[in-house]
Structure 1
Amino acid sequence: MTSQTLRRRLHHGDVDGRRNEHSETSGFDSLDEPLLGNGVYDGPHSEGYLLPEILDDGRRKEHLHWTILFSHIISQWAQWLANIVLGSGSFIGRLLPFVSGTQNGPNGKISPPLLSPLQDARLKYLKQRLAVPFDGSFLEHQDALKQLWRLAYPDRELPALKSDLWKEMGWQGSDPSTDFRGGGFISLENLIFFAKTFTEAFQNLLHKRDGNRSEWEYPFAVAGINISFMLVQMLDLQSAKPNTIAGVRFLEILSEDEMAFDNLFCVTFEMLDAQWLAKQASYMQFNEVLKSTRAQLERELALDDIYSIKDLPAYNLLLKR
C-alpha cells in the first residue's frame, strides 16, 4: 500500500471520544488522561464515632504513623546502600526498588525510590519538556512541524502550515496545531525523534504498509499524540516522583538512556500497530487497542533483566524490517 492510497481518516475527536471539544491547557500536567480512566476510590467517610472510639482510632493512627515512618527509613536506607555501595547497575540495586516498596491497590503503587543525582537531573529535564505546551504561533514549533513533514515526505514540497495536505499525515484538519489540544510539544518531538532514529519503521507505520489494513485506519499523527499522553500517565510522570512499577523501572532505564522516553515512544507505536493488526481493528476500537498496548508494555517493563529500552521484547518490532 503506497502513500498515495486514499483512506477515510478518523478525526481526532473520534479517537479520544471527545468530538468537537476544544480546551486551552498548558502541557501534559494540566490535562486529564483522554483515553484511559484513572478513578481512585477514597473509601467511605467515617461518621458517628463516640469519644472513646475516636481516641482509640487516634492511638491506632499514631502507632501506624510511626510504623510506616520507621519502615520508610529502613527502605530508603536499603536503597541508598544499594545505590552507593553496590552500584545502581548491580542486580541487587535494580531489585531493591521493587522488593522494598509495597504495592497498594490495583494501580500497583510502590514506595518511590531514592534517586541518584543523574536520575534526578534527567527526570527534571523530562518534566521540563512535558510542561511545554504546543503553540502554533511560536516559530520554533512551526519549524518543528516543517521538519516533521520533510522527514515524513522527503521528496515532496513543503505545504503551508495550514493546508489540506497535512491530513495525509493523519492530522484532523488543515491546521495541525489544533490537534494538540494542549497535549504538549514533546509529542511532536517524539514523532520527529521516531522519524530520524528509526526511519524505515516510521515510514512503514506512516504509510500503513504492513498487514491487511482496515478501511477506516487510525490517524498516524494523532495516534502519536495519544501515545505520548498514555506514556505520561502510565509512567506516573505527573507525580513528584513516579511510584508505579512501570514508572520506577523507567527511572532505572532513564539512568542508562537520557532519551528513554523518546525511545519508548517508538517501541509503543510499533506495539500499537501490531495490536491493531492482530485485532483486525477499526477506528471504533482505537481506545481498546491503546489500552491493550499499555497493558502489554506494563508487563514487559516488569520483566526481569530489563535494563534498557532495547531489552524490551517489543523493541525487536523496530528492527524486524
Structure 2
Amino acid sequence: MTSRTLRKRLHHGDVDGKKNEHLETSGSDDLNEPLLGNYYSDTHAEGSSLEETCDDERRKEYLHWTLLFSQLIAQWARWLVVPVLHLTSNVKLLNCLKKVAIFIGQANIVLGSGSLIGQLLTFPSTTQNGQSTKLLAPPLSPLQEARLRKLRQRLEVPFDGSRVEHQDALLQLWRLAYPDKELPPLKSELWKQMGWQGSDPSTDFRGGGFISLENLIFFAQQYPESFQRLLHKQDGTRAEWEYPFAVAGINISFVLAHMLDLQSAEPASLAGIRFLELLQEDEMAFDNLYCVAFQMMDAQWLAKRASYMEFNDVLKSTRSQLERELALEDVSSVKDLPAYNMLRR
C-alpha cells in the first residue's frame, strides 16, 4: 500500500461531492484487493534491520519451546484432568477443571448443547516446525451441514458487474445508505462518498466476492442505526484520514471468512469450531457476526486513534478481540457476544 492510493475523506455524509476534499491519484497500483497489505505474510519488510531479524528469531525460538512445554502439560491434562471430567458430576468442579485444562494445557473444550460437559476436542498438536496447532471439529448435525454448505456456496460467488442481480444489489445498498438521494449510475464519482476506491465499485470486490455486498445490505437492513452511524462516521473523534466505509466492509467479510476457516474442509481453529455452534442456532450467524465485527472494528479504530495507514493493525486487533469473545464459555449465539451490545437497530 503506497501513499498514491490514499484518498482524503473529511465528510463521508456529504454525497453531493461539493464539500468533500479528495486527494486522489490514478495509476496501475489502485487498490483492487482488500486493504490487507501483508496481513497474512510472515516475511520481513524490505530494509528490516539485523536487530529486528534477530529479535524475530528469538521470538520463534521462544514460541517453539513454549509449544513443546505446552504439549507436555496438555498430555498431563489428558491423563489426569480429562478422566475427572467424565467421572465427576460436580458442576463447579467441572467448570474449574475445564478452565485449568484450557489455560495450562491449551486443551480446548467446546460445550455442546446436548450434555453437561459437551464434547471433548483433541488437544493441540504441533507440526514439524513447532509453530502451528490444530483442533478437530465435533460431528455436525444435518442442520449445521446444510447451513454450512449454503454459506460456502455464497462464499464462492464472485461479484460480477455484468450480472443484473448484482447491479440491482449494489443499487439497493445505495438506497439503504442514502434513502433521500437520487440513484447514481453504476459508474459515478458519487460512489466514492460511500467509501469505494473509485467511480466503479465493481473493481473493489476481488477479495470479498458477492457475499461482502450481501453483508453490507444485511447490516443496513437489520441494524440501520449502527450502519448509518458508521457510514457517516458519527461516533467519537474521527481521524482526518478516515477508513473508506464500503471497502472496510469488504475487508471484514474477507477476514471473517479466513478466521472461521470457512474455506477449509473442516475448521481447525477454536473460532471456526465455535462458529459452527452459532450456525446451529442461527442460519444468518455469519451475517450477524459480520455486523458485530464491523461495529467492533470502528470501536477499535477510535480507541487507537487510528488513521488510514493503520487500518491493517486495527483489523488484526479486531480479529483478536472477536476470537477472544467467541472463545467465551457462555456464548451460544451471536447475541451472547459482549460486543453485540454495541449494535443499535
- Do they fold alike, i.e. is TM over 0.5? yes
- Which runs of 5 or more residues in structure 1 are unaligned? 24-30, 41-77, 79-86
Bigger RCO of structures 1 and 2 (CA < 8 A, at least 6 apart): 1
1:229 correspondence with 2:260: no
TM-score normalised per structure 2: 0.70
Provide the C-alpha distance between the structure 2 equivalents of 1:236 and 1:283, rounded to a whole number of angstroms: 27
**Alpha-carbon distance in 2 for matches of 1:108, 1:314:** 27
- Cα distance 1:199–1:35, how it changes in 2: closer, same or farther (>3 A)? farther
Residue in 2 that maps onto 1:101: 122
Contact 1:134 1:182 in 2 (8 A): no
Q: 1:217 aligns with which of 208, 220, 242?
A: 242
1:89 matches 2:99? no
Q: 2:291 corresponds to which letter in structure 1?
A: C
> Could you say what the CA RMSD is over the residues aligned between the two structures, in angstroms?
2.8
- The alignment covers a number of residue pairs equal to 260
After superposition, give the CA deviation of every residue in 1:135-193 in whole Å (9 maximum; x if it has no partner): 00000000000000000000000000000000000000100000112521000000000
Q: What pairs with 1:83-232 in structure 2 (closer than 5 Å)? A: 89-90=113-114, 92=116, 95-96=118-119, 99-105=120-126, 108-232=133-257
Query: Residue 290 of structure 2 aligns with which residue?
Result: 265
Deviation, structure 1 residue 90: 3.4
1:239 pairs with 2:253? no
Within the alignment, does 1:36 sit opposite 2:50 as a pair?
Answer: no
Match of 2:275 among 218, 242, 250: 250
Answer whether contact 1:134 1:185 (CA < 8 A) is retained.
yes
- Secondary structure of the residue aligned to 1:171 is coil
Higher mean C-alpha displacement, 180-189 vs 266-275: 180-189
- Code of the residue aligned with 1:164 in structure 2: it is E
Aligned to 2:20: 6
Q: CA deviation at 1:39?
A: 5.8
The one-letter code sitting in structure 1 at the alignment partner of 2:228 is Q
Structure 2: runs of 5 or more not aligned: 1-10, 44-85, 87-110
Offset at 1:101? 2.1
> 3-state SS of the aligned residue for 2:343?
helix
In 1, the alpha carbon distance for the partners of 2:318 and 2:30 equals 26
Q: Is this contact kept in 1: 2:124–2:133, CA < 8 A?
A: yes
TM-score between the two structures when normalised by the length of structure 1: 0.75
Q: What does the per-residue CA deviation read over 1:204-243, in whole Å, with 9 as the maximum and x for residues that have no partner? A: 0000001100000000000000000000110001101112
Tell me how far apart the structure 2 counterparts of residues 156 and 187 of structure 1 sit (CA, whole Å). Answer: 23
Higher helix share: 1
Residue type matched to 2:275 in 1? F
* Cα pair 2:297 2:315 within 8 Å, conserved: yes
CA deviation string 1:237-261 (max 9, x = no partner):
1101112100000000000000000
Q: Residues 108 and 245 of structure 1 are in contact (CA less than 8 Å); yes or no, is this contact kept in structure 2?
A: no
Deviation by residue 1:266-300 (Cα, 9 ceiling, x = unmatched): 00000000000000001010000000000000000
Whether the 8 Å contact between 1:169 and 1:221 is mirrored in structure 2 is yes
Distance 2:170 2:162 in 1: 12
Q: Percent identity?
A: 63
C-alpha distance in structure 2 between counterparts of 1:38 and 1:2, whole Å: 32
Q: Distance in 1 between matches of 2:42 and 2:149?
A: 26
What does residue 80 of structure 2 align with? none
Q: Name segments (4+ residues, structure 1) moved above 6 Å.
A: none
State the partner residue of 1:287.
Answer: 312
- Cα pair distance change 1:34/1:183, threshold 3 Å: farther
